[in-house]
Chains A and B, each alone.
Chain A
Amino acid sequence: MIDSAVTVETHHLTRRFGPIVAVRDLNLTIAKGEVFGLLGPNGSGKTTTIRMLCGLIAPSEGTAVVAGVDVVKSPDLIKERIGYMSQRFGLYEDLTVAENMDFFAGIYGLEGPGRRGRIAEVVSFLGLNRRLDQLAGTLSGGWKQRLGLACALMHRPPVLFLDEPTAGVDPAARRGFWTTISALAEHGTTVIVTTHYMDEAVRCVRVGLMSQGHLIALGTPDEVARQVGGTDLEDAFIILQERDEGEQEG
């Protein structure tokens, strides 16, 4: 039986691209309603991990269960239970805000009054009311990101994946975005987010540090900082990463 308090569980998750091991032997357990931060430099395997958990690419080895669904066995079913927002604004710039939401609500199988009701709900939750008729391409970074989140939330997914959601977004909008993330988590949505910003990392319940495809630290931001005897997550992050790279070379 799968523990209902656990929404993501991986065992020995591994992905190779030819001779390169992008993700190596990853073991993770993430609880329902947790905001989990995946940190690490570019190329450390964060995006590959998220893509495997979303069923976008198949693992080379290991297993992963997300929201009760085995991503290897049912990569299609998993897509109904997750929301996904990437660093690249993946919405239609030549459609209006309302048309984008309507399209994704339809793609997630919402129909009739149910669709209209849910769209209205998401619109007021994210404050998109006054932008509805604007073309998505003309929105600023912060508004684009809110629209992206709105589209990813249409089907009330129990798990939300955010791949560097705040890249290119101004600080005020980032703060607002994190308030929204916290609100979602309070209502039981599990959020898995990758980021480069340490002020965002400390807002996560737990963080996992990745380097060269594997996990080098896991715990609350405080726990991770204490692992190297410091109090600052950013210092810990740099020290742990250099240590890992030294081990690889030695």
Chain B
Amino acid sequence: MRRFGPMFRKEFIQMRRDRLTLGIMVGIPVLQLLLFGFAIQTDVRHIPTVVVDESRTPTSRELIDAFENTGNFRIIAHLNGRDALDAWIARGDAQAGIVVPHDFPRDLARGTTATIQVVVDASDPLSSQAALAAAAGVAQVRNLAILSAASSRGELPLEARIRPRYNPGLRSPNYIVPGLVGVILTLTMILVTAMAIVRERERGTLEQLIVTPITKTELMLGKIAPYIGVGVIQMTTVLLLGRFVFDVPLTGNVLLLYAIAFVFIIASLAFGLFVSTLVRTQQQAMQASFFFVLPNILLSGFMFPRQAMPAVFQWIGALLPLTHFLKVLRGILLKGVGVAELWKEMLILLAFAAILIALSVRRFRKTLD
């Protein structure tokens, strides 16, 4: 292994001089974190809403206020008829509409069922779901108030006390940022190693290396070792920015997280080496890396819950190291759990690392033919 040192040093100098690679390694984490952290909010609020209040009574105004007070609806206009409401929603100027009919106060006073109408633009399922839930909630609360006032029983018969554990504020960044650590490591580790090997082949330097006594192991290890450091720096950057910009908690044992991340980084680097044996040019390396990264983003549970996927895709997801690393990230950062809860994921990641190393060592040849 005495030739590992020179290889490592050389790779390090080259990494420092290569602006593109440096940009990929430092720029991607920061940019992605800011993008995902600020832009992706799964809790939909302030849906632009128009109102047609045909009754114009204090009761109806009170009801509309109740809608606005949920924070999910933002009343942007009061309109004169249902046709106008349909037009606003059709144009996309409003995503929800509330219609309070003439009969509303009369029915309410009489004790029969008073109806209001809530129209939602469901072409965007995420925001329409939020609107529907909020509308149902408003009606529910009103019903309870009216019924309990009318009944002789002072207390509510039933109440579900919901405790959202680990992320009590139901904040999106708490979910997204830990996942982002895994996504960024997957993307850059695979891409950077694949590029680093293919670059040597493209420039003809691999041919020169092959005629030296350096062994396959020394070559591969010296090549990927500097990037372990890069991975650790990336992860630290995302965690620190997540903590101080997005207020994401670091609940559990961070040291344990780094130890497991080390295994995950090795697995990703080994996969990058494997990719490098499949492609000939840097451009192909880049395309292949993105090809492999896409299923990681979609199927790992980074953004979309795996439970909602058909069984086949859950299985494919289980074959991705990222899926298991995400459980570790969220487990340690949000839930504060340790080895007792995560040993299965740790074993799976170790197995992935071993298999990927074996695979890339087998594929990697120190000859020209």
Write the residues of chain A forming the contact surface with B, with a CB cutoff of 8 angstroms. 17, 51, 54-58, 75-76, 79-80, 82, 84, 86, 88-95, 99, 102-109, 111, 151
Contacts and interface: CB of A to CB of B under 8 A. Distances in A.
B30 to A, nearest CB: 25
Nearest to B222: A107
Residue of A55, A92, A107 most packed against chain B (CB within 10 A)? A107
A102 B2 CA distance: 14
A90 B204 CA distance: 5
A155 B43 CA distance: 66
A75 B211 CA distance: 10
Contacts of A51: 368
Contacts, number: 75
A88 B3 CA distance: 24
Nearest to B8: A106
A83 to B, nearest CB: 8
Given A76-B213, A103-B10, A107-B214, A90 B367 contact: no
Nearest to B215: A76
B204 A89 contact: yes
Contacts of A95: 10, 13-14
B203 A93 contact: yes
Given A56-B211, A84-B211, A94-B18, 4 more contacts: A79-B212, A103-B6, A106-B5, A106-B7
A246 to B, nearest CB: 31
Contacts of A80: 213
Contact of B13 (A56, A57, A99, A109): A99
B3 A107 contact: yes
A75 B367 CA distance: 10
A111 B4 CA distance: 13
B124 interface: no
14 contacts: A58-B367, A79-B213, A84-B208, A86-B207, A90-B205, A92-B14, A102-B6, A107-B3, A107-B7, A107-B209, A107-B212, A107-B214, A108-B213, A109-B2
Interface of B: 2-3, 5-7, 9-10, 13-14, 17-18, 203-205, 207-215, 367-369
B14 A86 contact: no
Contacts of B207: 56, 86, 88, 90
B210 A108 contact: no
B367 A109 contact: no
A89 B205 CA distance: 8
Contact of A92 (B3, B10, B211, B369): B10
Residue of B6, B18, B207 most packed against chain A (CB within 10 A)? B6
Nearest 5 Cβ contacts at the A-B interface: A106-B6, A90-B208, A88-B204, A84-B211, A79-B213
A178 B207 CA distance: 24
B5 A92 contact: no
A56 B213 CA distance: 11
Contacts of B5: 106
